[in-house]
Chains A and B, each alone.
Chain A
Amino acid sequence: MKKITLNPLQRTQAPCSVEVTVENHKVIEARCSGVFFRGFELLMQGRDPRDASYLTMRICGICSAAHGTAASLALEDAAGVRPPYNGIIMRNLVHGADILQNHLRNFYLYTLLDYVRGPQLSPFVPGYTQDYRLGEKDNEHMLQHYYQALDTSRLCHELVALLGGKAPFPHCLLAGGCTVPPTADILMEFASKLKKINDFLDQAMLPDVYRLAEVYADYYRIGCRTPNFLEFGMFPETRNKGNHYFPAGVMIEGREEKLNPGEISEHLKYARYNGGPEPLHPGAGRSEPRPEKEGAYSWVKAPRYRDKPLEGGPLSRLWLKGEYRRGVSTMDRLVARALEAKTTGQLMERWVQELQPGQPVFTDFKVPREAEGAGLTSTMRGPLGHWIRIEKGRLAHYQIITPTAWNFSPRDNSGRSGPVEEALTGIEIANEAEPVEIGRVIRAFDVCSSCNAHVITAGAPARNLVILP
């Protein structure tokens, strides 16, 4: 038996660490941990509820539009306000552009170098030397796409800046809607840039993913799980409140059911927090950080849905939407991400056409004195929830459960591993000195430790909340 530790695992949005135990080249146990702690929920306490969108965006530099969206939805829920028609579309466009940015950067900047040799130039070197299977021509072709993806992902952030003032951390995402009117000059520039992005998705990203899938077809059998999925719904429809272009839903052991947020609980046994033996719903839990807690190995709590470790992300969404059900593996996750990017880009083209110039984008409202709200959305990496309580016009409680908390969670109270841990267990490591398989499995989940790092307790007064790394 041998332990392999990757700390830090690079090419994830923030440092995280993984430790696997290997026997006869096979992983028999895996432990994933978030390696930093910030306490974001603690620092939300007592603040003006309107500040939450901008502040919680600072949790994560690659999915800031996701937190801005969830925070806006939570305050809208509390205040009983809904954005106007244009506001809903504009927010979808900004969220969509940030998702395209993320999917491009995950695949090309973070994932590709696990399969494609880079040039002899820092920081492409040093690197592993084995299991690069592409021929020279294919390798060079994809490397050129890597460089083009640098431009294309930047272009996605130009879209965010166009409607949001800046990126990351766009200013337009607020409870009540959006802030830039849809005028012809802006829409024209948006559509023109979007077309370049969509062309790249069609002509580079999808063919590249399918080429990898051919050459690394064994990754359809690596990182597998049974279909256990959770999504809160992504991109609200303008007309049918509660409907989303990517629907909410739950899949447990391959059986589909309707989402019931009341089934969510958090397990603390292996997380560095004080807490009782019983898992608690985010609205009732409480936790205090305890770095030295015995047996605990992560700053990430273990969220569970009816005690099941569910996975979120593009594969989960396409599965629940019924558009992709080939299998649940590392390669399926990569293919689904590219397919979702394409679908999202196409939807965005349609939304631009649906905007109504001259009509409002923002609904003004009063912040309630006493209220509770929940902002649930699916986003880059899976389901994201913000839960708030307002007392005397200020935030008395703020809780966030991020997608990475679901995917990268440690064991729950019964000892069952989280999704990434499950996916790693059983994989073969050909060369323990170059365990490239581990990173391939993890990066396909698009793990984001910064998002991990934040969250945590629910329901309790905010001072008892803890944010994970």
Chain B
Amino acid sequence: MDTRDLAGLAAKKPRPPMILLGTNACGGNTISLLNSHDPGYRSMIEDLMDCRYNYLTMTAEGQMSSKVLKKTREEYAGEYILVVDGTVPTKSGGLYAVVGERNGRPHTALQAVQELGAKAGHVVAMGTCASFGGPFAAAPNPSGSRPVQAVLNRKVINVPGCPVNPGWIMGTLAHLAWYGEPELDELNRPKMFYSETIHNQCQRRHYFDNSIFARSPGEPWCMYLIGCKGPVTYADCPYRQWCGEHVSWPVKANTNCIGCASPEFPDGCAPFFEHLPDVQLPGIKASANRIGMLAGAITALGIGAHLAGSIITGRLPANLGKGFSLSTREKLISKLQQLLPKNK
């Protein structure tokens, strides 16, 4: 859809009022929103949304800007869309993130999200921090940061990603403006973007299936052994790509997916460069006793069953030159030499 169509469609529909509130945020999701190509930010504010408050680009500052929040909450109750960028710190009564002043006292992000969230037509958590906690809630979570849903007693539409892809957030906003709430999954993510794993959509899936693995970043093969979290990450990066012009994505750039759109990101995805231990793997062809013999060694090396399958079917030695990760490779070769002296 080009911007002309968008303008045409939008001409028939009113632009819903929108508040983009930054809480405990790095600003990366709002920057990513600015990276949208069609529509660009200009088209978004002219044709799609009545963007009344945007902490990053609005002209007003200080009390003048804070009044916009109050006015929108009062005049457009039940109509406006609240988009939150960032986590909501809860320690010390929320004092770790302040969005302004009220009656001479700090107005915390916690208060703002709860007050604005209660009166909004829809609440959108933009990015992994607002959706699930993300980096700022990583252990030991020094600020007691929580996702938006944790401080609001109402449905929050989660649009994760670190940052969110411009297409995911702009698509969600367009759906809200034109058709209402999009179909959501069990984590309240729009199904249109988050219903399949990166692994299942990856252009390099055939390298995985044939056990051709990169051994360090920068190699053009499957990134599984250097830590790719594609098998457990639900997002459409391989198809959609980044940014507005869809020029690339992390695996195309010869690096592993780190699971930045996952609810567990980053703690459940770290170390980023160590592979997942428990991925479902394609069928293994080999006799049980040989698998058993290898299983111990493989487990000791921290390598998954898929690799074991490859070793046993004889594909691994052929691919060792293209294979694997860091120091594990040397250990593996030495183990293999002990266990399979005649395997070529």
A151 touches B40 (CB 8 A): yes
Known: A9-B62, A123-B52, A179-B254. A147 touches B42 (CB 8 A): yes
B34 touches A154 (CB 8 A): yes
> Does residue A261 face the partner (Cβ distance < 8 Å to B)?
no
Residues of A53-86 whose CB lies within 8 A of B: 54-55, 58-62, 64
Known: A7-B62, A50-B273. A189 touches B27 (CB 8 A): no
Compute how far the CA of A43 lies from the CA of B163 in the bound complex, rounded to whole angstroms: 19
Compute how far the CA of A43 lies from the CA of B31 in the bound complex, rounded to whole angstroms: 24
Across-interface contacts of A466 in B (CB, < 8 A): 142
> Does residue B210 face the partner (Cβ distance < 8 Å to A)?
no
Residues of A1-55 whose CB lies within 8 A of B: 5-11, 13-15, 17, 35-39, 42-43, 47-48, 50-51, 54-55
Known: A14-B27, A58-B26, A154-B37. A126 touches B143 (CB 8 A): no
Residues of B25-62 whose CB lies within 8 A of A: 25-32, 34-37, 40-42, 45-46, 50-62
Compute how far the CA of A161 lies from the CA of B35 in the bound complex, rounded to whole angstroms: 11
Compute how far the CA of A14 lies from the CA of B271 in the bound complex, rounded to whole angstroms: 28
Name the one of A58, A177, A289, A450 contacting B218, with C-beta atoms under 8 angstroms: A177
Name the one of B31, B89, B98, B142 contacting A168, with C-beta atoms under 8 angstroms: B31
A122 touches B50 (CB 8 A): yes
Taking the nearest CB of chain A, how far is it from the CB of B246, in angstroms? 9
> Does residue B65 face the partner (Cβ distance < 8 Å to A)?
yes
Dominant SS among interface residues on chain A: loop
Known: A48-B270, A150-B42. A35 touches B65 (CB 8 A): no
Residues of B6-42 whose CB lies within 8 A of A: 22, 24-32, 34-37, 40-42
Residues of A116-131 whose CB lies within 8 A of B: 118, 121-128
Across-interface contacts of B36 in A (CB, < 8 A): 154
Of A358-366, A380-388, A422-430, the one contacting chain B is: A358-366
B55 touches A15 (CB 8 A): yes
Of B133-141, B148-156, B314-322, the one contacting chain A is: B133-141
Compute how far the CA of A122 lies from the CA of B54 in the bound complex, rounded to whole angstroms: 9
Known: A47-B271, A48-B270, A48-B274. A126 touches B100 (CB 8 A): no
Q: Mark A151-175, 1 if CB is under 8 A from B, else 0.
A: 1011001100111111111111010
Taking the nearest CB of chain A, how far is it from the CB of B146, in angstroms? 13
B28 touches A168 (CB 8 A): yes
Known: A55-B135, A289-B142. A10 touches B24 (CB 8 A): no
Residues of B90-138 whose CB lies within 8 A of A: 92, 95-101, 106, 109, 134-136, 138
Name the one of B26, B45, B217, B274 contacting A362, with C-beta atoms under 8 angstroms: B217
Compute how far the CA of A161 lies from the CA of B243 in the bound complex, rounded to whole angstroms: 7
> Using a Cβ–Cβ cut-off of 8 Å, how many residues does chain A contribute to the interface with B?
81
> Does residue A252 face the partner (Cβ distance < 8 Å to B)?
no
Compute how far the CA of A36 lies from the CA of B94 in the bound complex, rounded to whole angstroms: 10
Compute how far the CA of A36 lies from the CA of B81 in the bound complex, rounded to whole angstroms: 25
Known: A61-B31, A109-B57, A122-B45. A7 touches B101 (CB 8 A): yes
> Does residue A291 face the partner (Cβ distance < 8 Å to B)?
yes
- Report the tally of A-B residue pairs with Cβ distances under 8 A: 263
Most chain B CB atoms below 10 A, which of A35, A55, A170: A35
> Does residue A176 face the partner (Cβ distance < 8 Å to B)?
yes
A158 touches B95 (CB 8 A): no
Compute how far the CA of A465 lies from the CA of B95 in the bound complex, rounded to whole angstroms: 19
A123 touches B58 (CB 8 A): yes
A165 touches B142 (CB 8 A): no
> Does residue A300 face the partner (Cβ distance < 8 Å to B)?
no
B56 touches A10 (CB 8 A): yes
A8 touches B99 (CB 8 A): yes
> Does residue A113 face the partner (Cβ distance < 8 Å to B)?
yes
Name the one of B98, B163, B242, B253 contacting A35, with C-beta atoms under 8 angstroms: B98
A174 touches B242 (CB 8 A): no
Across-interface contacts of A128 in B (CB, < 8 A): 59, 64
Name the one of B40, B51, B55 contacting A154, with C-beta atoms under 8 angstroms: B40
B253 touches A163 (CB 8 A): yes
Taking the nearest CB of chain A, how far is it from the CB of B28, in angstroms? 3
B246 nearest CB neighbor, chain A only = A161
A51 touches B271 (CB 8 A): yes
> Does residue A236 face the partner (Cβ distance < 8 Å to B)?
no
B61 touches A171 (CB 8 A): no
A127 nearest CB neighbor, chain B only = B59
Name the one of A17, A61, A164 contacting B28, with C-beta atoms under 8 angstroms: A61
Compute how far the CA of A289 lies from the CA of B95 in the bound complex, rounded to whole angstroms: 12
Compute how far the CA of A50 lies from the CA of B271 in the bound complex, rounded to whole angstroms: 8
B107 nearest CB neighbor, chain A only = A7
A166 touches B243 (CB 8 A): yes
> Does residue A250 face the partner (Cβ distance < 8 Å to B)?
no
B95 nearest CB neighbor, chain A only = A291
Known: A38-B142, A39-B142, A171-B253. A364 touches B216 (CB 8 A): yes
Compute how far the CA of A171 lies from the CA of B163 in the bound complex, rounded to whole angstroms: 12
Across-interface contacts of B271 in A (CB, < 8 A): 47-48, 50-51
> Does residue B174 face the partner (Cβ distance < 8 Å to A)?
no
Q: Mark B73-101, 1 if CB is under 8 A from A, else 0.
A: 00000000000000001001001111111
Residues of B159-195 whose CB lies within 8 A of A: 162-163
> Does residue B258 face the partner (Cβ distance < 8 Å to A)?
yes
Across-interface contacts of B27 in A (CB, < 8 A): 13-14, 60-62, 450
Across-interface contacts of B218 in A (CB, < 8 A): 177-181, 360-362
Known: A179-B253, A362-B216. A11 touches B28 (CB 8 A): no
B55 touches A10 (CB 8 A): yes
B138 touches A43 (CB 8 A): yes
Name the one of A42, A64, A118, A178 contacting B140, with C-beta atoms under 8 angstroms: A42
> Does residue B335 face the partner (Cβ distance < 8 Å to A)?
no
Across-interface contacts of A153 in B (CB, < 8 A): 34
B217 touches A176 (CB 8 A): yes
Known: A58-B135, A161-B242, A172-B253. A189 touches B247 (CB 8 A): yes
> Does residue A142 face the partner (Cβ distance < 8 Å to B)?
no
> Does residue B301 face the partner (Cβ distance < 8 Å to A)?
no
Q: Mark B256-290, 1 if CB is under 8 A from A, else 0.
A: 00101000001000111110000000000000000
In addition to A35-B97, A166-B243, A166-B249, 7 A-B residue pairs with Cβ atoms within 8 Å of each other are: A7-B101, A48-B272, A58-B136, A58-B162, A150-B40, A164-B248, A362-B218
**Can you list 28 residue pairs at the A/B interface with Cβ under 8 Å?**
A8-B62, A8-B65, A8-B100, A10-B56, A14-B26, A17-B98, A35-B106, A39-B140, A47-B271, A54-B258, A55-B138, A61-B27, A122-B50, A122-B53, A124-B59, A127-B60, A150-B34, A154-B36, A157-B243, A158-B244, A158-B247, A161-B243, A161-B247, A166-B242, A168-B31, A169-B163, A181-B218, A289-B142
| A residues in contact (CB < 8 Å) with B | 5-11, 13-15, 17, 35-39, 42-43, 47-48, 50-51, 54-55, 58-62, 64, 105, 109-110, 113, 118, 121-128, 147, 150-151, 153-154, 157-158, 161-172, 174, 176-181, 189, 289, 291, 360-362, 364, 366, 439, 450, 466-467
The 3 closest A-B pairs by CB, nearest first: A61-B28, A39-B142, A165-B253
